[in-house]
């Protein structure tokens, strides 16, 4: 076991995939919606396609093709595209808004609430997500996530993995980057955070993308901490 690093003051968390099980949550809710509305769609394929448009949409903001656009708006742009792609008709604007806000109603992984509660006793807990503030606040209420503060892309005005997203979080907490530790289930997120001077913790979520997942099955770099879940991370950090 790695000895707890006394220099760490705050833990900053990726949310989609690391904290919440977005894929199963959306599939479950959309299948129920489809049954209720008698819409025959492959909701698993729909969910995967929606997530597949996530990075390309943010890339348009990163490269300046779009001005700053919060994630809720990007999700809606992508949803409108998918409704046409999957030949879904007859939905009202209220129904489309409700579907788009499924991202506000995601379930946490089983270890998350207990693990965060332990970690909160010793560390500042902050989101460092590409999700916008309203999304993160509503998700925290829904999933009982005990954050101390909501930080991330909308606060910084930059989407990860742009350096400003990570550096802004440390600055907002009046901490040096090395006093913050990025917690994520994605190697690329942690590599970007580490390049900005943050410490890093990899959490294994091998089922985030379902049974066919091939990426991020394990830590691919020598991160500060590597754990199977938040409970193990709490133990390693002496919580």
What is the DSSP annotation of 87-126?
A: T-----HHHHHHHHGGGGSPPBPTTHHHHHHHHHTTSEEE
* pLDDT attached to residue 5: 63
- pLDDT by position in tens, the chain (length 239): 344 566 999 999 999 999 999 999 999 999 999 999 999 999 999 999 999 999 999 999 999 999 999 999 999 999 999 999 999 999 999 999 999 999 999 999 999 999 999 999 999 999 999 999 999 999 999 999 999 999 999 999 999 999 999 999 999 999 999 999 999 999 999 999 999 999 999 999 999 999 888 889 999 999 999 999 999 999 999 99
* pLDDT attached to residue 3: 47
Question: Given CA atoms 65, 195, 210, 94 in this order, what sign does their dihedral have?
Answer: negative
* 88 strand-pairing partners: none
* pLDDT attached to residue 4: 53
Residue intervals in the chain for CATH 1.10.150.240: 23-104
Which of 144, 117, 139 has the alpha carbon at shortest distance from 129?
A: 139
- Does the pTM surpass 0.85? The reply is yes
Residue 38 burial (C-beta neighbours within 10 Å; 0-12, 13-18, 19+): exposed
What is the DSSP annotation of 170-215?
A: HHHTT--GGGEEEEES-HHHHHHHHHTT-EEEEE--TTTT-TT--S
Residue intervals in the chain for CATH 3.40.50.1000: 10-21+106-236
Class of domain 10-21+106-236: alpha beta
Sole residue written with tokens 């997500």? 129
Would you state the structure tokens that stand for residue 103, as one six-digit string? 């991202």
**The CATH classification of domain 23-104, taken from the options 3.30.70.260, 1.10.3720.10, 2.30.110.20, 1.10.150.240:** 1.10.150.240
Residue 54 burial (C-beta neighbours within 10 Å; 0-12, 13-18, 19+): middle
């Amino acid at each position: 076991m790695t000895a707890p690093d006394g220099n760490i003051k705050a833990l900053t968390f990726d949310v989609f995939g690391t904290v919440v099980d977005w894929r199963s949550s959306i599939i479950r809710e959309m299948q129920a919606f489809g049954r209720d509305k008698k819409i025959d769609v492959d909701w698993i394929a729909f969910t995967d396609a929606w997530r597949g448009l996530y990075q390309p949409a943010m890339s348009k903001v990163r490269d300046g093709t779009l001005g700053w656009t919060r994630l809720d708006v990007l999700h809606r742009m992508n949803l409108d595209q998918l409704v046409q792609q999957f030949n879904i008709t007859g939905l009202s604007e209220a129904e489309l808004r409700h579907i788009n806000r499924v991202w506000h109603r995601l379930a946490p992984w089983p270890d998350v609430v207990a693990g965060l509660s332990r970690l909160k006793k010793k560390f500042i807990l902050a989101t460092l997500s590409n999700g916008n503030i309203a999304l993160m606040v509503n998700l925290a209420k829904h999933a009982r996530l005990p954050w101390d503060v909501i930080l991330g892309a909308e606060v910084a005005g930059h989407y990860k993995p742009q350096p400003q997203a990570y550096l802004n979080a440390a600055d907002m907490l009046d901490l040096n980057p090395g006093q913050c530790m990025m917690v994520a289930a994605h190697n690329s997120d942690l590599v970007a955070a580490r390049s900005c001077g943050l410490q890093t913790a990899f959490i294994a979520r091998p089922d985030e993308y379902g049974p066919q997942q091939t990426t991020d099955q394990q830590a691919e770099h020598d991160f500060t901490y590597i754990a199977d879940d938040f409970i193990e991370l709490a133990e390693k950090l002496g919580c």
